[in-house]
Amino acid sequence: MYVERIGARKNKRRIHTTLGDLIATISDVALENSADPKEAYKLARLVLVQILKSASVRSENVDGHFSTSKHLH
């Protein structure tokens, strides 16, 4: 995984990774910072949805696909 600066002012970043690696990394960080695994997965879901929304042209549809998911990895 690596991060590339893009855009005229280089203030945007593009992450080059697989979706699986992204989900695993987000989940691992959430689990490390939460005492409750259930809350950690909720946090990981929110972070993933936010990342996908900011990367998607049709961001209003992203959250609907994850609304019933209990585990990300």
What is the mean pLDDT of each successive set of 10 residues along the chain, which is 73 residues long? 58 76 93 94 92 67 54 53
Provide the β-strand partners of residue 12. Answer: 6
pLDDT for position 59:
47
pLDDT for position 25:
92
pLDDT for position 34:
92
Q: How far apart are CA 16 and CA 37, in angstroms?
A: 27
Residues 47 and 26: beta-carbon distance below 8 Å:
yes
Q: How far apart are CA 72 and CA 20, in angstroms?
A: 9
Question: Which residue range is the domain that position 59 belongs to?
Answer: 17-73
- Rounded to the nearest 10 degrees, what angle do helices 37-55 and 19-32 cross at? 140
Domain count, the chain: 1
pLDDT for position 63:
55
Identify whether 23 is part of a domain.
Answer: yes
Identify whether 2 is part of a domain.
Answer: no
What pTM value is reported for the model? 0.60
